Amino acid sequence: MNKRIIIVGAGASGVAAATKLVSNGFKQVTILEGGNRIGGRINTIPFGANVVDMGAQCCHGENGNVVYQMAKDKNVLAHSNEEDFSTTFVRSNGEEIPSELTKKLLSLMESIYNSSINRDKKSSHHGSYGNYFAKKYKEALGTEEYKEVSAEVARELHDLFHKMTNLRLGTTWYDTSGDVHGRENCDGDFSMNWKDKGYVTVFNLLQNKISGGKTSQPVIDVNPLIEFNKEVWKIAYNQPDGTIKIECKDGSSYSGDHVICTVSLGVLKEHHLNMFEPLLPLWKIDSIEGMMIGALDKIYLEFDKPFWNEDWNGFSLLWKLEQLKEVQADPVNGDWLDGLFSFYRFNPLQPNVICGWIVGKRAQKMELKSDADVKAGAERVLRMFLKQWNIPDAKTMVRSKWYSNPLFRGAGACYTLKAEALGANCQKLAQSIDDSSGKPVVQFAGEATNTKYYSSVHGAVESGWREADRLINLYTS
């Protein structure tokens, strides 16, 4: 098949589309990657004794998860157990919440979340997920079962649950729709890790470069197809000869018969008015502007040796008002420190490393600070909460910057009240721009275009395969 296919972006969806097209006989596939590496929001880097994942980290679920299906027989995944993620709640004065109460409160949070995503969309509840959670949370805490939870701790927990839930939603739950806010979760182990190789392993799976399982497939090497440092600035899809012309920031240009655009929703939101010629139709613009992409970052700290006990896995942070005022008065880091909500040990192969999590507006502020300031701020918070230990300075620190990176402008998509009002959704983000004969000219892939599993790697991979199938079916039917 000699149709010229140009794929914008060498992330999970772009590589998935390319490998499927090549394996089905398409001989002229080009991937234009704005950065200097394969991966997109999958970014495995050397750190400490092994590697860390700056973006996607765990394989989430088994049933219905195409990433797990590729990996399950290849000896590349390690299953989690309850001890790996046992949670401790610690208040900013050093007080630890009893473990039994912690388990009960986490169960409450999960039950409210699960009831919301399983509700009939015609539910009588209208408004944000934050309002839905607050209503159910208040009802539960008013029962005899939670009588030991004081008003002060209830406020601290509400703030923590907001941040923890934003790991899934991508933005504040007061902007997120309460009716159809949540993606579906795949049943099974939700926190499988990639042993000593990191999530970048998925690209070897997509290219059939890892042996194992019942059948073997021909290797499809995408590296010769990729042109790096080709940030796409213009996609002109109305050329007189029916081709599509693509212009890059460096002045280079390409022509093709079809383009599959896999850039992040954040990049589309920032550049769609200038990127596409002519302008995209209003229904597509409404979905780009109505959907939201949130900020989510990690801060990895490596120590010369563990300051923690062998059975310690980490903790979640409950901020008391006194300490909130104290850190917010910090002239350097006061605008982001209170956004930290957990620190956890990374994995057994990184015995001296812990990872801190931060989301939302505070994550955006953190990204603007120097490495030295972020390291000092994280150390200060650890010493504030873990008063029982003499915590040394970290040996090294690395952190992600997904929101401020111009090639991403965020971590994962979510469904907002604005999208609900505009009639915007993932289905419209996924819909192609067709010519007068109905042939797809500009196609869209990426996690934000997956109607069931947006904000996930398996959702991104599925979307790439979906768009490849669109072309395969067009030319083989």
Tell me the pLDDT of the chain averaged across its residues: 92
Q: What is the pLDDT of residue 83?
A: 57
**Rounded mean pLDDT, 332-337:** 97
**Is the pLDDT assigned to residue 199 strictly greater than 50?**
yes
Catalogue the E-assigned strands of 347-462: 353-359, 396-399, 412-414, 433-434, 440-444
What pLDDT does 119 receive? 47
pTM above 0.75, yes or no: yes
CA-CA-CA-CA dihedral for 112, 115, 116, 121, to nearest 10: -160
How do residues 268-290 score in pLDDT, each as one tens digit?
A: 999 999 999 999 999 999 999 99
pLDDT of res. 84:
56
Residue 140 pLDDT: 93
Go through the domains of the chain in sequence order and give each one's CATH number: 4-40+198-292+423-476 (3.50.50.60), 81-188+296-401 (3.90.660.10)
Would you list the DSSP string of 193-240?
Answer: B-TTT-TTHHHHHHTT-S--SS--------GGGEESS--EEEEE---T
Q: Name the residue with tokens 């275009």.
A: 449
Per-residue pLDDT reduced to its tens digit, 6-35:
999 999 999 999 999 999 999 999 999 999
Identify the residue whose tokens are 């008065």. Answer: 329
Residues 379-395, mean pLDDT to the nearest whole number: 96
**Distance (Å, whole) CA 475 – CA 24:** 11
Cα 81 to Cα 227: distance, rounded to the nearest angstrom:
41
pLDDT of residue 465: 98
The pLDDT value given to residue 85: 57
Say what the alpha-carbon torsion angle 24, 30, 31, 36 is, to the nearest 10 degrees.
Answer: 130
For 124-170, write each residue's pLDDT tens digit. 556 788 888 899 999 999 999 999 999 999 999 999 988 887 766 65
pLDDT value at position 193? Answer: 92
How many residues in total does the chain contain?
477
> Which tens digits make up the pLDDT trace of 414-466?
888 888 888 888 999 999 999 989 999 999 999 999 989 989 999 999 999 99
Whether 370 shows a pLDDT value over 90: the answer reads: yes
Phi-psi region of 130 (alpha: psi -120 to 50; beta: other; left: phi over 0): alpha
Whether the CB-CB separation of 52 and 45 falls below 8 Å is answered with: yes
Q: Which of 15, 27, 7 is nearest to 246 (CA)?
A: 7
Closest CA to 274 of 243, 310, 247, 303: 247
Q: What is the pLDDT of residues 75-132, one digit of tens each?
A: 999 998 755 556 789 999 999 999 888 888 888 888 887 777 654 444 455 678 888 8
pLDDT tens per residue across span 226-257: 999 999 999 999 888 889 999 999 999 999 99
Output 38 or 309, whichever has higher pLDDT.
Answer: 38
pLDDT band, very low/low/confident/very high, at 294 (cuts 50, 70, 90)? confident
The percentage of residues in the chain with a pLDDT greater than 90, rounded to a whole number, is: 75
